[in-house]
Amino acid sequence: MSKNLLRHETSPYLLQHRDNPVHWRAWNAAALTEAATLNRPILLSVGYAACHWCHVMAHESFEDVETAAVMNALFVNIKVDREERPDLDQIYMAALHAIGEPGGWPLTMFLTPDGKPIWGGTYFPKQARYGRPGFIDVMRRVAEVYADDPVGVTEQASCLTAHLSAPPRQDRTAQLDGALLDQAGHSLLGVMDPELGGTRGAPKFPNFPLLDFLARSAERTGRVDLTEAVDAALHGMTAGGIFDHVGGGLARYSTDPKWLVPHFEKMLSDNGLLLERLAFAVPLDEPDHLFRDRIESTIAWLERDMRLDNALFCASLDADSDGHEGAFYVWRRHDLDELLTEADAGFIAALYDISAEGNWEGVSIPNRLHPHPVLSEAEDARRRRILQTLRIARERRPHPARDDKQLTDWNAFAIAGLAAAAFRLDRSDWLALAVDAFAATGTILQLAGRPVHAHRAGRHIGPAFSSDLAALAHAALSLHRATQDTAYIDEAIRLLGLLDSHHATGDGGYFFTADDAEPLIQRRRDRQDDAAPNAHGLAADALIRLWSLTGEDRFRAEADALLAAAGGSIAANAFGAASLLAALNLRIRVRSIVIVAPNVEAAEPLRRVVAQNWRSNWTLDIRTDGATLPSDHPAHGRGAIEGRATAYLCREGSCSLPIQEPAELADQLVEG
């Protein structure tokens, strides 16, 4: 048997394991053929480059000669990067849940030679401890059971696979209306921590789909408690240690209920979603608001540390550096004393909770969770200057590894976040980053006219998953809002057409994989959100916005069919269906704001009013220089009155009287 073959791969995660004594293979036909030829079960290990516990298991077991010898003797060993192959990760994570085990990474699964799940878990220590069985013991037991009763094991694995592949049951139907939204909002508010923000307890994940739905519900109902829940979460995560106050950007999650101690890995997807949520939450009449500062520092981090020469963004930064989790990000008081004057060291230490005793394992994670006075303009300038000094000094430390593969859906989230921030805060430089990245998705992340899922070192992983196409459509419409270039509408239509052509289930949903993708033991069709909104919620939102922008009823019909098919899922699990609930909110309340003007400059005062008062249920369409609206749009044929910029507010086939004064438009928008 040939040895470790991961040296031939491009995934940074797989390349981390290329020197292991384990005879690793990537997931491919050759590896499966080898398992079938040898009649050996497969040991599947799924993880990702920034995963701390993946590194722990690697150091304990995969780099260990004794453990590797057992693996090589008993199994065909396959490594998978979950970010590169989420289709495989979804299948085998679902199998783990089906056998009653909690999920997480690293995911360790034992499979039949043809890929059916036998049994599994997550992290296993080399030797049994903390109530967890030892990895060597587990492997030997699985191999023993398979050798003693291969037929029985295969039959059981086939039953588990059949269970996973069964069509989702629709045990409940739901009336898709405001009452359902009210009920879901009330239910989800009950899981929120009203003081610390986020969901109750620990660990605390940002959960942006949930925050987006609660924010839209607050707009629809005017309920202060919903607004406060969203603000508490955003304040907690952007004041806590989960946010990198020195360099910008949000870590994956907080291990404690206060948002203080992060799991230090930074993911592109989380930060793109953070930007979008903060952009819609920041009050524009407060130039020194916390959210504005976090938007600025996060975008600076994206541009400085995550952007590649091809204009796309990297996937993640590792949690570990120099062999220790968080080492790059924590501080000791004497670090400040060595770098700064006594006065500056005392000032920044008090502001960011950096002390001699530390706030976590003897070191300090910078945070702003403790009460502190409002800074004057001069004090804030001092704060920024000192943080810049710390950031430059921090660059001399060993850096976390960077996973520089480019993921289509994660880049789309970053593009949408940048476009939203540029739109709200009027930053052409941020918009240029988004425009350039989206253009790169149309070249680097495409193959034969169709998006792929991932790219690195000239190699593509594809075709795109449903999440890629839906997220790209969302990004395109975000760019249209910011640029008013109708080419982005056309691109959103094309992307959703590909989603329908290659992923439609035939009953109002989408398969995760394309119809011409590699055949696996299952084509999943999950509608539940995870850390990011599900493709179904993103697609429904995009279809409704296209209907509002074009007036074409086919988009409304597609959105209605998608929401109707998901009705049972929405009613049964509001927490997992937050993005679909947000789309339903939009479907009920969508409004089109049309501005017709002789030129861009004339439209600007009205456009700025819209940006300043932006609500999630609006779409914006600005037509200048004689450009006309689509023939199906309710405002088709309406123009600029007496050559002056004129706004129309439209809904369900009818439009308001013309509005030309910015103050009058602001009043109309505030009144809803």
Q: Which of 48-52, 60-64, 309-313, 601-605 has the weakest average pLDDT?
A: 48-52
Pick the more confident residue, 377 or 285: 377
Is 412 found in the same domain as 386?
no
Domain assignment present for 106? yes
Is 316 found in the same domain as 246?
yes
Are 459 and 413 within 8 A, CB to CB?
no
Is 157 found in the same domain as 212?
no
CA angle 127, 131, 132 (to 5 degrees): 50
Is 308 found in the same domain as 378?
no
For residue 173, name the pLDDT band (cuts at 50, 70, 90).
low
What count of other Cβ atoms lies within 10 Å of the Cβ of residue 325?
21
As given in the structure block, the two tokens for residue 436 are 């350039």
Are 355 and 330 within 8 A, CB to CB?
no
Residue 436's alpha-carbon distances to 456, 461, 488, in angstroms, are 18, 22, 13
Nearest partner of 623 among 468, 485, 441, 417, judged by Cα: 485
Is 104 found in the same domain as 216?
no
Burial of 509 (0-12, 13-18, 19+ CB in 10 A): buried
Whether residue 133 is preceded by a cis peptide bond, meaning omega within 30 degrees of 0, is: no
Domain assignment present for 171? no
Is 211 found in the same domain as 107?
no
* Distance between CA atoms of residues 16 and 28, nearest Å: 19
Q: Is the pLDDT reported for residue 128 higher than 90?
A: no
Please give the pLDDT value at position 171: 46
* Distance between CA atoms of residues 262 and 301, nearest Å: 18
Please give the pLDDT value at position 389: 98
Domain assignment present for 508? yes
Is 386 found in the same domain as 420?
no
**Concatenated DSSP letters of 390-419:** HHHHHTTSPPPPEE--EEHHHHHHHHHHHH
Max Cα-Cα span within the chain:
87
pLDDT digits (tens, 9 = 90+) for 81-126: 999 999 999 999 999 999 988 888 999 999 999 999 999 999 999 9
Number of structural domains (the chain) is 4
> How far separated are the first and last CA of the chain, in Å rounded?
69
CATH number at residue 582: 1.50.10.10
Torsion sign, CA atoms 630, 632, 635, 636: positive
* Distance between CA atoms of residues 252 and 263, nearest Å: 6
Please give the pLDDT value at position 9: 95
Is 183 found in the same domain as 199?
yes
Domain assignment present for 343? yes
Domain boundary among the residues 348, 363, 396 is at 396
For residue 41, name the pLDDT band (cuts at 50, 70, 90).
very high
* Distance between CA atoms of residues 157 and 152, nearest Å: 9
Is 420 found in the same domain as 274?
yes
Domain assignment present for 172? no
For residue 672, name the pLDDT band (cuts at 50, 70, 90).
low
Domain assignment present for 170? no
HEC profile of 156-179: HHHHHHHHHHCCCCCCCCCCCCHH
Residues 6+ apart with CB under 8 A from 586: 216, 541, 544, 545, 616, 617
Domain boundary among the residues 396, 412, 428 is at 396
Domain assignment present for 173? no
Nearest partner of 185 among 227, 122, 152, judged by Cα: 227
Q: Which of 200-214, 277-291, 340-354, 457-471 has the weakest average pLDDT?
A: 277-291
pLDDT digits (tens, 9 = 90+) for 434-451: 999 999 999 999 999 999
CA angle 635, 640, 646 (to 5 degrees): 75
For residue 156, name the pLDDT band (cuts at 50, 70, 90).
very high
**Concatenated DSSP letters of 334-353:** HHHHHHS-HHHHHHHHHHHT
Alpha helices in 455-596 (DSSP H): 466-483, 487-503, 535-550, 553-565, 567-572, 578-589
Is 150 found in the same domain as 216?
no
CATH number at residue 152: 3.40.30.10
pLDDT digits (tens, 9 = 90+) for 235-262: 999 999 999 999 999 999 999 999 999 9
As given in the structure block, the two tokens for residue 466 are 């449903």
Domain assignment present for 441? yes
* Distance between CA atoms of residues 177 and 159, nearest Å: 39
Domain boundary among the residues 111, 140, 165 is at 165
Buried b (16+ CB within 10 A) or exposed e, 224-242: eebbbbbbbbbbbbbbbbb
Is 633 found in the same domain as 576?
no
Domain span including residue 555: 178-321+403-589
User: What is the share, in percent, of the chain residues with pLDDT greater than 70?
Assistant: 99
What pTM did the predictor assign?
A: 0.96
Is 457 found in the same domain as 424?
yes
